[in-house]
Structure 1
């Protein structure tokens, strides 16, 4: 891939009104961005994620975050260059990282590179908080030495469950719940399965709560919310994975209900928290009504207007 140098120094500290702003990206945010999927991983979408590694070539070759591209500097080793692409300003996510940057007030490769990229980006340029060191410490299974990813390899990429509460609570589908490698990666010791399908008997070392419920407007999940909350609260020393067949309706309903209980928050607040982690989550209409009743139980009265189209 060819690159073109930009003419503005990477040491620039003030921006024009047309430049994108810089924001920090927590490790769990990048983890969830990498694991978004519909039928296939969203990483296969051409303008979904641009992930740039601003470290040295040696560091990059020793290990980097999956799908990351290494940024380069000009012949004078002074200014960062950006990859040639007519769609560079159209990425949904543009994320830069170095070894360990923790603040936008720091000076370092990630900040320098992000300032340059902000000149051509429409949306905010995100700087990974804690850099490669912190991310790889939490998600070692997403370290890679692969430099080039073929389209078929991206299509075949199997996402992990999304992370709702870091290192503790995860949302996934049936495949995740039966994948022993994923359970090991995330240290999953407990699982809630919201499905009519039977529990996988090979998961003998996983503490299981099975809720046999269909994804129907008539299904009563509300009756299980207290048991779900008690179960998750009792697992404070181990990670919990909540799954349903597709990981979109039943499992997200259960997690929204738990967050309302755990944070003593409204349906709207819990809904938005889960939606940030899993962009295609969607409880069916019957479950939304039940969540509204659960909000009344938690908060004492209805607060969220579920007639809003986003619900």
Structure 2
């Protein structure tokens, strides 16, 4: 039996934007996103790829095509449920007991409780529901109900969100996409690649171009202090920053990890784990990892993380 867990809007946003070679949304057992609002609300707009859960009386009818035992992420949302307090306080009672006690559970929680009996994996309840998510990511609203496999293959992920509403991590293609810049309100770029992007070229106040090759000879260390200063300044100004490299999996990830170590005064291990959760396919090369260990010593006064671990 699974458990109910709250899912922040940023977490769902990042789940929707994971890639392997293609968008992970194309994988049939990757994400099951369920909308338990009324039909008219769902028809008006819903989160991309979400399927509506129908009800027969008080029974939730889970889509027949869903095999929760095989699904990595199962996320349920209603209009605005934002807490599991009621369910946690009464997790030994069944739903009928809750109703007898006069407790009102959000529809997402009621449905989620049913789903926990069908899987041993967590069932995620979207905090703030559709209202909060759609307010933060309006560009992920849709009226489209059926997604063909080829449409999911062609889905263009957005940069993942590292610090909500402030720092995004992506690739060169995303950095060149004007719609993405507009939707995310990007005001500054950190380009960690040899390529020159079309935005902010010639504007040193809005573009930091760290020219390092994608190779084991790449030396990012001399740029880390300037990188952190550039991002700090833009955060103080309220600017939204996109950090990117050509593929968005090595150099830009190393840059983001270095910044988090600086900002949070935390270990390489902890910053690594956080970025890995946001971007599952990140993979800085061994040379960059070694340089991050040296950066850890500068930030914390000692090298704490053991990079001989196969995790790195």
- Of 74, 92, 96, the residue aligned with 2:76 is 96
Which residue number in structure 2 is paired with residue 139 of structure 1? 137
Question: Structure 1 unaligned runs (5+)?
Answer: 1-18
> What residue number does 2:2 align with?
20
Q: In the alignment, what sits opposite 1:110?
A: 108
- CA drift of 1:203 comes to 6.0
Q: Which residue number corresponds to residue 8 of structure 1?
A: none
Q: Which residue of 1 aligns with 2:270?
A: 269
Equivalent residue number for residue 297 of structure 1: 298
| Partner in structure 2 of residue 254 of structure 1 | 255
Contact 2:109-2:125 within 8 A present in 1 as well: yes
SS at match of 2:117: coil
Contact 1:190/1:240 (8 A) holds in 2: yes
- Say which SS state the counterpart of residue 50 (structure 1) adopts: strand
Q: CA deviation at 1:54?
A: 0.6
Return the alpha-carbon distance in structure 1 between the equivalents of residues 202 and 299 of structure 2: 34
Q: Specify the alignment match of 2:198 in structure 1.
A: 200
More helix by share: 2
Question: For residues 51 and 44 of structure 1, what CA distance do their matches in structure 2 show?
Answer: 13
State the distance in 1 between where 2:147 and 2:36 align. 19
Aligned residues: 291
- The equivalent of 2:54 in structure 1 is 72
User: Match of 1:153?
Assistant: 151
Write out per-residue CA displacement over residues 71-93 of structure 1, whole angstroms, 9 at most, x where no aligned residue.
0112xx21111111373321000
What secondary structure sits across from 1:148 in the alignment?
Answer: coil
Runs of at least 5 residues in structure 2 that lack an aligned partner in the other structure: 87-104
Deviates more, 1:292-301 or 1:210-219: 210-219
Q: Which runs of 4+ in 1 moved over 3 A?
A: 201-206
Counterpart for residue 67 of structure 2: 87
- Given that residues 242 and 255 in structure 1 are in contact (C-alpha distance below 8 angstroms), is that contact kept between their aligned partners in structure 2? yes
1:121 Cα shift? 1.6
Structure 1 residues 27-64: Cα deviation after superposition (integer angstroms, max 9, x where no partner): 00000000001221000000000000010001101110
CA RMSD of aligned residues (A): 1.4
Q: TM-score, normalised by structure 2?
A: 0.91
2:307 maps to 306
Does the C-alpha gap of structure 1 residues 133 and 272 become closer, same or farther in structure 2, counting only changes over 3 Å? same
Partner of 2:89: none
CA contact (8 A) 1:178 1:203 kept: no
Q: Deviation per CA, 1:165-205: give whole Å up to 9, x if none.
A: 00000100011110010011000000011111123267678
Query: CA-to-partner distance for each residue in 1:154-175, whole Å, 9 max, x for gaps?
Result: 1111000000000000100011
Q: 2:39 aligns with which of 44, 57, 60?
A: 57
Partners of 2:261 and 2:149 in 1: how far apart? 40
8 Å CA contact 2:34, 2:50 repeated in 1:
yes
Instruction: For 2:202 and 2:133, locate their aligned partners in 1 and report how far apart those are by CA, in whole Å.
Output: 30
